[in-house]
Amino acid sequence: MAAYPEIEELVAFSTPVVSFGNPQLARVATLGINPSSNEFQIGNGNKSPLGQFERKRLVDTEILGIENPKSLNRDQAIRVVEGCYDYFTGPEANPYDWFKRLEKFVLEPAGHTYFGSKASACHLDLVQWATDPVWDSIKDKSIKKELLEDDKEFLRYQLTSYDFEVVYLNGGTVVKQFRELGIADLSVVHHVTRNSMGGTHEVLKGSANGTTYYGWGINASSRDANKKGLEELSNWIKTQ
């Protein structure tokens, strides 16, 4: 029910994505930066809303029957949250393929899944708003800073209120923001390949209040991530 950010980069007809899957039932969580614009629109340059050619993934403003909201009322917010909780396992579920990479390289090695009747994982983000262009392509750094700052305390609430056994911090931006929250100290416990020149990504670990946090610089959800580094990360996760 918080006010919508007043930025041009906000995806039209989008709603805040508080989670992908139900954090109240999940044993583990993955943490990323922010939802993809493709959660709400067709993509590949087509900014039309999902629904005509492909099922919607989340409860957007079209479903709510509103246009250009400044915020959501209580009933609208409840529908949005329910849609987030049903993202992977609801009767109309249509999860974005992006999650398959985190499933393959992070969750499967750890013995967890987002999908099906045995779902034990959910996904959270630093920022709850989908942007177009994508995060890395937003040129104005002040916009990124504003979004991260506005949603920081909500993220703290999520990480400290739900009963997660493990949280996986995916990528350098996520690790940096998590450290600023001061929830847990992270220490380097491993390295994985970054590039063919011998560079490496750090793998980190920390714990607080019964939750273990693992983080890494490599982006396990990116198709551009070093394949050898991803394999090394997966093999390491299996041992934890």
CATH number reported for the structural domain that contains residue 110 in this entry: 3.40.470
Q: Which domain holds residue 81?
A: 28-238
Phi, psi of 139 (to 5 degrees): -75, -35
What is the distance in angstroms between the CA of the first residue and the CA of the last residue of the chain?
38
Residue 9 CA, distance from chain mean position: 18
At CA 68, angle to CA 66 and CA 71, rounded to 5? 85
What average pLDDT does the segment 117-143 reach? 96
Cβ-contact 11, 40 below 8 angstroms:
yes
Choose among 200, 193, 202, 195: nearest CA to 230.
193
The 10s digit of each residue's pLDDT in 35-84 is 999 999 998 889 999 998 899 999 999 999 999 999 999 999 999 999 99
Rounded CA-CA distance 191/216 in Å is 9
Residue 214 has pLDDT above 90, yes or no: yes
Residue 140 in domain: yes
Q: What's the average model confidence in pLDDT over 197-226?
A: 96
| Structural domain contains residue 20 | no
Global pTM reads: 0.97
Domain contains 182: yes
Asked if the structure places residue 17 within a domain, the reply is no
Does residue 5 fall inside a structural domain? no
Q: Please tell me the total count of domains within the chain.
A: 1
